[in-house]
Amino acid sequence: MTTHTELPSMQESLLDVADKKIFVAETGEGPPVLLLHGGGPGASGVSNYARNIAELAKEYRVIVPDLPGYGRSTKGVDGADPFGYLADTIRALLDRLGLDKAHLVGNSYGGACALRLALDTPDRVDRMVLMGPGGIGTTRALPTPGLNSLLNYYSGDGPSRLKLEKFIRNYLVFNAADVPDSVIDARYQDSIDPDVVAAPPLRRPSGPNALRTLWKMDFTRDKRLARLPVPTLVLWGAADKVNRPSGGPMLAGRMPNCDLYEVANTGHWVQFERAELFNRLCADFLAGRR
């Protein structure tokens, strides 16, 4: 299995995008693919896709941004429409890179970003791969224990390494031993950046417009989903404790060009836990080989 020490050398840039600084790492040549990371505490693009970048770069130009609020990018996310805010930023990044269209690969929060971007501007997305994306059926059931653990990280007694380790080992993955201590240590340090603690990028909607925000954040309420032409592959861990695996059939039943692959003995982090399978399926799907 690919490890964190086998990342290729990557070109790093801090780009001016829509009045923000967006950190981007890239490598490889070929059709452009943006890898959009999840929203857990301390997440960042390269760390999220450490087991995938080298393999995908054999065939694609792999572009890995840190989403707003994470890593080395500008902190803060518009709480009134977080998925729209992320999508607008990534669309502006495509403009900044001179790309009319690109493949999008999104895990969890990044999957919600990719899906919203595709719904708003389908002409900008070639093909799309979503892994346990956020915003699927979220108004139709109570939050999962895993999602509650994620959303409570900055509340109560505040962030701690113990809280982060519990989230990652108990809820993020199927096999807790698959995550090295070094990954948790690095994510914890990033999660306690003072700017992040002051404005956590992933929070429960609150205030007088909270219900409107919640409704907007559930893609199964969006009628455009049934008309979305973008060919999409949805990968969902059968043991996902953060976003319910039932979201997979919800998407496949609503989207006209959606393939669904449920991955056995796998949690929320398909691209990390089942890297070899993910890399093969992703590369083949984006190339139109399946």
Is 286 in contact with 129 (CB distance < 8 Å)?
A: yes
Q: In Å, what is the CA distance from 93 to each residue of 108, 124, 127?
A: 20, 12, 17
Residue matched to tokens 């449920």: 262
Which residues does 136 contact at the CB level (< 8 Å), separation at least 6? 218, 219, 220, 243, 244, 247, 250, 251
- Is 4 marked active-site? no
Structure tokens at 239: 């043991």
Buried residues in 1-18 as b, exposed as e (16+ CB within 10 A): ebeeeebeebeeeeeebb
Q: How far apart are CA 243 and CA 247, in angstroms?
A: 7
Q: For residue 24, what is the DSSP state?
A: E
Catalytic pick among 4, 37, 103, 268: 268
Helix (H, G, I), strand (E, B) or coil at 200: coil
Residue matched to tokens 């995908």: 56
Is 286 in contact with 127 (CB distance < 8 Å)?
A: yes
Q: In Å, what is the CA distance from 149 to each residue of 104, 189, 201?
A: 27, 18, 15
Is 108 in contact with 147 (CB distance < 8 Å)?
A: no
- Active centre residues (catalytic): 268
